[in-house]
Homo-oligomer: A and B are copies of this chain.
Amino acid sequence: QSSLQIDGILDAGVQRIDYKGTTVTGIGGNGSSTSQINFRGTEDLGGGLSARFRVETDWNVVSNKANTGTTAASGAAPVTGSTFGNGEIRVGVAGAFGALDLGSVNYNTLGTYGVGQPFGTAIGSGFRAVAINDAASTSSVRAENALKYVSPNFSGVTVSLYKSFKQTKAGTGVAADGNYSSTLGAYDQYGVQELGLNYAGGPLAASFSTLKQDNEEVGAGTAPDYTVNTLGVNYNFGTAKAFFLYQTVKGEGVRESKLMTLSGTYTLGATVLMAQVGSLNDDVQDKKDKMISFGADYNLSKRSAVYVRYESIDDKLNYAKNPGSIAGTAGETTRTRTAIGVRHSF
């Protein structure tokens, strides 16, 4: 049988951003999670084999313009919208051999990151600030035109292999070079290879991912190759859960950083409290970022919650992106985000 499933998340609230001295308040989305809708399906093919797919669309729950895509301020490039299939998209086959998926498939690194701290990729997580997924300017959580193989589960251990083919053009130095295809990968697309190891058993979960991003002859050809190694561990003590995250990023001459964070959650009935502290050192810049974050969920049901989140990042390395083009003040390095909101999944 084949069955289409539709599920999703909506997350919105009042948010306050203090970006290095400039403060803006408004209604914003995704304070505690990524608002999305998923079309999923699984078909039992017999003999332990199954076909499966996911099409994820990440929408903005508070802004039509963000969904539609608008012409940006004069001189800027057009802004792309939250169109259908802008999240994880994949189709594949699973069986005794493991699972093979094709598409724009999530990195194992994203899973590792979720094992290493409890804030997801939302406010408090440090994602795209102290931690990254790949070294692209947007720190993508997946590559384009990719292939992912995940092994069967051996006593709690799975192995993940990931590949996205490189597509070069401008960087090859050959004027009329046409050795790329936007159909099989966008113009000047970096190549990605990733190996992941995951363990889950009893109270312990651990995950390690090593991701190599090949930028040689891609674009202007000036970006170095990157290696992003991420380790996430958590241990469930019952009402309390402890998390450890460690990440190294190496890009020859550009970045050589080490991140370490400790975090935990504590559950009190319908309330879940969470906190994280961490620091990021970069040997190239010889500077240090520090982060502290807090959060609380009050679960109205299994599917609905109200939440608060707070994070403060002393961002001397200037890795914490400007959320929405807010200009900071010279000399100020701290980005703070606060949110109170509602989250509903269906």
Report which A residues bind B (CB closer than 8 A).
2-4, 6-8, 10-15, 17, 19, 22-28, 37, 39, 41, 43, 45-46, 49, 51-53, 55, 57, 59-73, 77-78, 80-87, 89-93, 102-104, 142, 144-147, 164-165, 167, 170, 176-187, 300-301, 303-304, 306, 323-328, 341-342, 344-346
Question: Min CB distance, A290 to chain B, in Å?
Answer: 23
Residues of chain B within 8 A (CB-CB) of A49 are 300
Q: Which of B11, B27, B60, B145 contacts A62 (CB 8 A)?
A: B145
Contact of A24 among B3, B179, B301, B341 (CB under 8 A): B179
Q: Are A83 and B70 interface neighbours, CB within 8 A?
A: no
Contact A62 B104 (CB under 8 A): yes
- Inside 8 A of A3's CB, which chain B residues have their CB? 346
Please determine whether A91 and B10 come into contact, CB atoms closer than 8 angstroms.
yes
Shortest Cβ distance from residue A147 to the other chain B in the assembled complex, whole angstroms:
6
Q: Are B187 and A72 in contact (CB under 8 A)?
A: yes
- A175 → chain B, closest Cβ, in Å? 10
In the bound complex, do residue B324 and residue A26 qualify as a contact, i.e. CB atoms below 8 Å apart? no
* Residues of B contacting A41 in the complex (Cβ-Cβ under 8 angstroms): 344, 346
Residues of B within 8 A of A19 (CB): 178
Q: B60 near A70 (CB under 8 angstroms)?
A: no
The reply to whether A327 and B176 form a contact with Cβ atoms under 8 Å apart is yes
| Given A71-B78, A102-B13, A147-B14, residue A24 in contact with residue B180 (CB < 8 A) | yes
